[in-house]
Structure 1
Amino acid sequence: MSGTDGFDPDRVKCVVWDLDGTLWDEIAVESDTDALPTPRAGTLAAIDALAALGVLSSIASRSAPSVLERLEKAPALRSRFLAPQVSWQDKSESLRAIAKDLGIAVDALLLVDDSPYERAEVEALLPGVRTLAPEDVPALLAAFEGREVTPESRERVRRYRTEETRRAEGERFQGSREEFLRRCDMRLTVGAATPGEIPRALELAARTHRLNSSGLTPDRLRELAAAEGHELYTASMTDRFGEYGVIGAALVDRSAPGRWSVPLLALSCRVAGRGAAAAFLFRLMRRARERGVEEFRVTLRPTDANLEMRMLLRQAGLRRVDEPGDGASADSAVLGRSLHDELPEPPAWLRVTEREDAEA
């Protein structure tokens, strides 16, 4: 998809920039020296403006890998980009690699490239990815105007940098994956959302897809969270590398006697594979049982993206029980289970506390 017509900024987590003819005017590989071409000032300003909005930037360039080596030696430039790809492979393959490295869906990327051929190749092989020409960048920035920026958004680039450090250490670690996760000293804190966390919960509802149970819109989430008998919970996480911030949100409907219903469970893709989604869900189930609740339900709208969430709900013992409830769309189902049976435990490497416990 090209151009900005019908553009939804909430779907874009990372803008991927071409180099030659996009980030700078010249062709880097043809330079007589090791110095890189001078970047366009307007493009750098756009990258910095996007970073302030919580949008990441990366590079996909069909050029000699030596260009990336030169980029690594220019800290002021390299620091703007995460998971850059410079090789002779197709742009579509570079975008797949970037998405994998960042742990986000491919269709959360947007490509800016001066070449109509490269844009067409990506559009053909990755139809969910929007592409723009460099002259479309002002319209891209305009599409983000008025968007609420949460503290997590402002910290997103720094936190992905921390994730690069975390991933690099994991690759060097000689033990098992579980041993490395134990070494990370991960801690998840669950509690009722504070007023300052509500914008982040709305952001998670809008921007998460892999770990999103129902796709409830931010407006509907805000409406339900303010309704009687409803409560919004959040989960935040830290490890020895730093803070992840608020990485999960769950809306709980307690209006039916003896039952907790969850119209939305959403977690950041940054914590995929660490057990945080399971730990958050299991803690909510345990909290419900401690309050005398007998049945736990979750609204699920299956999508191509949320297979991981569907597997988690099945792992938690949830099975289809009823027609869609409050906040669900026509293509949703309601899954439920009894809380009288044994409840699953969070992963052994992840310490889970409630906010009241953490503050005690």
Structure 2
Amino acid sequence: MREQKLSYYINKASELNNQSFDQKIRIALLGSFTLNGLAETIQVKCAEKKIQCTTYVGNYNQYNQEILNPTSNLYKFNPEISFLLIDTRTLLMDLFHHSHSVSVEERRKLVDEKINKILSLATKFSQTTKSKLVLANFSIPTFSSYGIFENKTDFGFHRMLNEINTKISDALSNSDSVYVYDFAGFVTKFGEKNIFDYKQFFFGDMKISLDYIPYLASNLMSYVIGYMGISKKCIVLDLDNTLWGGIVGEDGFNGLKLGPEPPGNAFMEFQKVLLSLHQRGIILAINSKNNYDDAIKVIRDHPYMQLREDHFASLKINWNDKVSNMKDIANEINIGLDSIVFFDDDPVNREYMRINLPQVETIELPQDSSEFVNILKDLNEFSVLNITQEDQQRGKMYSEQRKRVELEKSTPDLEGFLKQLDLKISIKKANEFTIPRISQLTLKTNQFNLTTKRYQENDIKKFSQDTNYFIGCAQVEDKFGDNGITGVFIVYKENQKEWFLDTFLLSCRVMGREVERGILSHIINKAKEAGVEKIRAQFVPTSKNKPIEDFLPNCGFKKDADSWVYSIKSSFEIPSCLTVSAE
């Protein structure tokens, strides 16, 4: 996607002073070179996501001092995300140009020293602050004084940098506080001669061209999206001239452009990338004005379709308007409209969607279908800081969800439907396997969430190690399959007689099945065993969590000032359709 000029973002940033949003973030930018305009661009991009961003830009090439000094302005700023960009020239100093002037042994020793220094900086930073650290890896210049003989050299210039990048990435792969940004990949994507402008370098030690600062900011925003838990969950797709070329109602099954030859190969490649996103947990759905029988035959039977019926959580193939269909899709899948990205080749449909449902991210598509793939790949809307096992299984889970919906429609009442589901709730403790998912649910769950408190993995780890906290999650299964970990609770033990329900949430995937009562019964039973007399809770209303508004009073909690209180003496029964077990 083409970016605005840097001047646009600098001018826009000056207009943000009077704007205020519910979500806020503090971002620090540290670098070994001039980072003009990066802070302003990130501020504007955050504002576009309804996030108020305050930035701290470290002094020129002072990142080492700022990280090592516990009283530095960096730590006083108390960032939530910090980006550290060290360029290859600064890293290697004189050896950037003369790496072959020292022995192989000395080069290996230097590489180990650089790796250890960077990792020790990351460790010091993580020990001093709660901020996430995003460390850029190192671009590998195409030039070598050894020319075509470079790859024949024992531990040459390029190998040195590859080793540094690989070992740093490996060392930090399991860290939940430090991430490695692929700056080398960024340079590869846009081209070394575009990113590094000698004129700007000589003029002001700018090692990223001003023209590409907005593209860098867009890449870094992926971490903001993941940290804030605002990533999109679902891609909704048109069919004709979007998933395949041509119009099935006019061109017929055999006349569609879809296959290994152009122009059908562009649509085939687009589907392959969509399938890869589906496999990592992005929900797919269809919103198409079409004859259902014609369209579903293509999806089921066309030899070059990469996406089949089971890959879609919802199929709205009818002659209804697309806005109504989109609302139905959101209701059926049980997600917010602001979790949806919409692809449609028709500019009229796109404009209609933008006007009526601005919450939906409607993507601008060109007429040239060969550009669809790059537009999809350039989206950072699906960025998450951790991909869990539940994410990878989400496609299968939503395919099973369609079967549940069909059963519900065929059952005359809710009680009968729930009994047929054979629901089993397994309460699990917070441990190294469940903590990433617990954190993810607190970051992403909006609808059935009492307080919408957001917790990073480090927060959950600390709670789990504190005896004053009682943390758990719920895995939900039924006869159609495993829904995965879909419920979370965090209880703070205020004293021996009273517990506080800090967090209680349920994924939209299992809403409306009485699962919340099963989880609450486990908490109440544990409280009884501990001799607790009452459980206190609060409902903090937001624009999205209305589905949980009546949960507390419906479960026997009584209003007490700004809290809700449950007396342990009260009896609490779970619905007969549930089976609850605990580790």
Band of TM-score, shorter chain? 0.7 to 0.9
Q: Which amino acid aligns with 2:346?
A: S
Residues in 2 aligned to 1:311 and 1:36: alpha-carbon distance in whole angstroms: 51
Choose the corresponding residue for 2:575, options 338, 343, 347: 347
> 2:386 aligned with 1:148, yes or no?
yes
Shift of 1:293: 0.9
Match of 2:432 in 1: 195
**TM superposition shift of 1:299:** 3.3
Report the secondary structure of 1:149's partner residue.
coil
State the match for 1:267 in structure 2: 506
- Answering whether residue 527 of structure 2 is matched by residue 288 of structure 1, we say yes
Higher relative contact order (CA 8 A, sep 6+): 1
Q: CA deviation at 1:48?
A: 1.8
Over aligned residue pairs, what C-alpha RMSD do you find?
2.6
**How much does 1:207 deviate?**
2.0
Match of 2:407 in 1: 169
* CA apart distance, 1:25: 3.0
1:52, distance to aligned residue in structure 2 (A): 2.7
Per the alignment, residue 31 of structure 1 pairs with 251
Partner of 2:77: none
Question: Structure 2 CA distance, aligned partners of 1:33 and 1:257?
Answer: 70
Instruction: Report the equivalent of 1:328.
Output: none
The answer to whether the 8 A contact 2:289-2:317 is kept is: yes
Report the Cα offset of residue 253 of structure 1: 0.9
Which structure: larger Rg?
2
Cα distance change on mapping 1:71 and 1:335 into 2, 3 Å: farther
Would the aligned equivalents of 1:19 and 1:59 in 2 still touch at CA under 8 Å?
yes
CA distance in structure 2 between the aligned counterparts of 1:274 and 1:188, rounded to whole angstroms: 11
Contact 1:83-1:98 within 8 A present in 2 as well: yes
In structure 2, the gaps of 5 or more residues are 4-44, 50-220, 259-263, 366-371
Candidates 19, 22, 47, aligned match of 2:274: 47
Question: TM-score if structure 2 supplies the norm length?
Answer: 0.54
Establish whether residue 99 from structure 1 lines up as the match of residue 319 from structure 2: no
Distance 2:462 2:377 in 1: 36
Structure 1 distance, partners of 2:558, 2:298, is 51
2:344 matches 1:113? yes
Offset at residue 205 of structure 1 (A):
1.1
The 2-side partners of 1:209 and 1:216 are apart by 10
Deviations 1:104-163 (CA, angstroms, capped at 9, x unpaired) = 2333222122333222212222232211124532222x4445631100000011011112
- Structure 1: gaps (5+ residues): 323-332, 356-360
Distance 1:171 1:271 in 2: 16
Name the residue aligned to 2:539: 300
1:142-190, Cα deviation, whole Å (9 max, x unpaired): 44456311000000110111122232233334x5431232122211122
- Name whichever structure is richer in helix by fraction: 2
CA contact under 8 A between 1:319 and 1:336: conserved in structure 2? yes
**How far is the alpha carbon of 1:304 from its aligned partner?**
3.0
Mapped partners of 2:342, 2:533: distance in 1? 49
Match of 1:337 in 2: 566
C-alpha distance in 2 between matches for 1:317 and 1:24:
54
Count of residue pairs the alignment pairs up: 340
User: Of residues 341, 363, 384 in structure 2, which corresponds to 1:132?
Assistant: 363
Distance 1:34 1:186, change over 3 A: same
* 1:215-234 equivalences in 2 (<5 Å): 215-219=452-456, 221-222=459-460, 225-226=463-464, 228=466, 229-234=468-473
Distance of 1:41 and 1:107 partners within structure 2:
28
CA contact (8 A) 1:186 1:351 kept: yes
Residues 275, 306 of structure 2: 8 Å contact kept: no
Output the TM-score relative to the length of structure 1.
Answer: 0.85
Select which of 236, 240, 243 maps to 1:16.
236
In structure 1, the residue matched to 2:42 is none
Selected match of 2:396 from 158, 171, 185 = 158
Tell me the equivalent position of 2:209: none
Q: Report SS of the residue matched to 1:202.
A: helix
**CA distance 1:37–1:70, change in 2 (3 Å):** farther
CA deviation after TM superposition for structure 1 residue 347, in Å: 1.1
Question: For the structure 1 residues 20 and 69, does the alpha-carbon distance in structure 2 shift closer, same or farther, using more than 3 Å as the test?
Answer: closer
Which position in structure 2 is the counterpart of 1:57? Answer: 284
Secondary structure of the 1:77 match is: coil
